[in-house]
């Protein structure tokens, strides 16, 4: 019998015991691995470093069973067997249940991931509900078209679900990434086997209760916890998977692509790393630019693929910007994610903490200047001070590589052409920002930046209806918006002859 975990929350917004099923969720039931070699995986509270609970380890044999359940559901109780309107009603019901359990899910995210309760509630959980509701509206609007060819021909396209999808999500936005992957897939009529991060699995596990409550047919959504090299690799390489979707590092994305191509050349979408550029021209509203720059890098503790981790400031305002930015960063409260005035909680794990601090030390050794931060915060948990580096060169490691933490580099520039070249001088192309009162220039620069998203006079603003994805090594395909639906459908062309034989062979 699958275990459960009960946590007694006692903070200003929730005083309740919350029970979370910990089993692998396969074919509508919670279970443990069929592989006798399976172990358990500790789930650690990043605020304290203590173990919260342990989850069952899934292995390839479990993935195989889950894929069979997903295929059976696709062929019988989902896919083209269920009208889009009915699929949409279920997605909207899930959105309503998320909103009902808003405080519970936000508490789980703060506990498991370390992000602040306030941010989890206002952004992660609220936006996850919005994503399910948005795709609930799309489910009955996935349509082909008729195409004129000749008077004796009727041609049309059908948009059909891809089939069984393997999905692999990261630890930085556990519930939000869960919604990004599952909602468009279900709207399109696909079934899913999803692997949440083993570091932050609890919100995905809680969501399985809501799927059952909403009435989602067994096998439509299956959740298999485990490690990337086992569960993730099994999903990427299985011939039973028609499409794989991955969010995570570029290095692992390459592995997912490799396994997908070596097996059945399944469809692939990848949302990968970034090294976002944030460009501040000298005519920008300085105070707004500083606030958005801080939000651009320190939101979610810097653990954001689209983080504005390279800030370029025009030389005429560089000193004033640096002074205000330092003041803003220094005032951000780092601490307990359940405290209402906390802006930045802990990094997600000891491994991630060590990785970030290694980058900080590397920056110092390569000659960059620490303007503020650069040290551990407190004596337990995985907390790091908001950090700003100045006096950087484009060849430095902290300028070139994704740090994925609360660390940013400041660079002065003189001309528009210079900063566009510098911003594009990266293997990544996920997101950028432009701050200027000259809206013509802002649009011109946005067009020149090699980024899947460009924010003008704002940063880190996401909406369900606006596509998100990257250029270059930041990924393939798009999440959110109509474009996400397209990655879960196949287009079939049908030609109908309304006249006689029109070919060239004479009988």
Q: Identify whether 402 is a catalytic site residue.
A: no
**Residues 28, 34, 35, 39: what is their CA dihedral angle, to the nearest 10 degrees?**
60
How far apart (Å, rounded) are the C-alpha atoms in residues 73 and 190?
9
Tell the residue number behind the tokens 């959980």, with chain if given. 125
Gyration radius from the chain CA atoms: 24
Question: What six digits make up the tokens of 203?
Answer: 């919100």
DSSP annotation string for 252-293: HHHHHHHHHHHTT--EEEEE-----EEEE-TTS-HHHHHHHH
Contact 453, 424 (CB under 8 A): no
Q: Identify whether 458 is a catalytic site residue.
A: no
How far apart (Å, rounded) are the C-alpha atoms in residues 107 and 227?
24
How far apart (Å, rounded) are the C-alpha atoms in residues 290 and 330?
13
Task: Please identify which of the residues 57, 127, 271, 385 carries the catalytic annotation.
Answer: 271
Q: Which residues of 181-196 are buried (b: 16+ CB within 10 A; e: fewer)?
A: bbbbbbbbbbbbbbbb
Distances (CA, A) of 457 to 313, 356, 446: 14, 28, 11
Task: Please identify which of the residues 305, 385, 402, 479 carries the catalytic annotation.
Answer: 305
Instruction: Please identify every residue annotated as catalytic.
Output: 271, 305
């Amino acid at each position: 019998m699958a275990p459960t975990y009960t946590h007694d929350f006692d903070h200003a917004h929730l005083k309740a015991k919350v029970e979370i099923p910990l089993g692998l969720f396969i074919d509508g039931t919670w279970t443990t691995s069929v592989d006798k070699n399976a172990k358990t995986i500790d789930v650690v509270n990043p605020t304290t470093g203590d173990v919260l609970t342990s989850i069952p380890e899934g292995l390839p044999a479990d993935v195989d069973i889950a894929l069979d359940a997903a295929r059976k559901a696709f062929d019988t109780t989902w896919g083209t067997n269920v009208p889009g309107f009915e699929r949409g009603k279920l997605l909207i019901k899930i959105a309503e249940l998320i909103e009902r359990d808003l405080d519970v899910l936000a508490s789980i995210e703060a506990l498991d991931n370390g992000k602040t309760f306030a941010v989890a509630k206002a952004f992660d959980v609220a936006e996850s509900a919005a994503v399910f509701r948005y795709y609930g509206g799309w489910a009955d609007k996935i349509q082909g078209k008729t195409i004129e060819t000749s008077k004796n021909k009727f041609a049309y396209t059908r948009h059909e679900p891809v089939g069984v999808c393997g999905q692999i999500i990261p630890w930085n936005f556990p519930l939000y990434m869960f919604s990004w992957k599952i909602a468009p897939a279900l709207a399109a009529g696909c079934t899913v086997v999803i692997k949440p991060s083993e570091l932050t699995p609890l919100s995905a596990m809680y969501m399985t209760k809501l799927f059952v409550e909403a009435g989602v047919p067994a096998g439509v959504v299956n959740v298999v916890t485990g490690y990337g090299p086992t569960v993730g690799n099994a999903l990427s390489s299985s011939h039973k998977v028609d499409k794989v979707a991955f969010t995570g590092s570029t290095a692992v994305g390459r592995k997912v692509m490799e396994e997908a191509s070596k097996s059945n050349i399944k469809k692939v979408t990848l949302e990968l790393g970034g090294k976002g550029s944030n460009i501040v021209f000298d005519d920008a509203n300085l105070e707004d630019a500083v606030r958005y720059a801080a939000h651009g890098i320190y939101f979610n503790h810097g653990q954001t693929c689209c983080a504005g981790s390279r800030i370029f400031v025009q030389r005429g305002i560089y000193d004033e910007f640096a002074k205000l930015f330092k003041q803003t960063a220094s005032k951000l409260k780092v601490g307990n994610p359940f405290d209402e005035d906390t802006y930045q909680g802990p990094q997600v794990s000891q491994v991630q903490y060590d990785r970030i601090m290694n980058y900080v030390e590397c920056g110092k050794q390569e000659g960059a200047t620490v303007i503020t931060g650069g040290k551990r915060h407190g004596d337990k948990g995985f907390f790091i001070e908001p950090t700003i580096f100045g006096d950087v060169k484009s060849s430095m490691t902290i300028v070139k590589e994704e740090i994925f933490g609360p660390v940013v580099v400041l660079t002065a520039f003189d001309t528009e052409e210079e900063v566009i070249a510098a911003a594009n001088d990266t293997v990544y192309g996920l997101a950028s920002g432009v701050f200027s009162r000259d809206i013509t220039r802002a649009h011109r620069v946005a067009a020149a930046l090699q980024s899947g998203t460009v924010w003008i006079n704002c940063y880190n603003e996401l909406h369900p209806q606006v596509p998100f994805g990257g250029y270059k090594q930041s990924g393939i395909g798009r999440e959110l918006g109509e474009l996400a639906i397209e990655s879960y459908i196949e287009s079939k062309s049908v030609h109908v002859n309304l006249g006689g034989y029109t070919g060239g062979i004479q009988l």
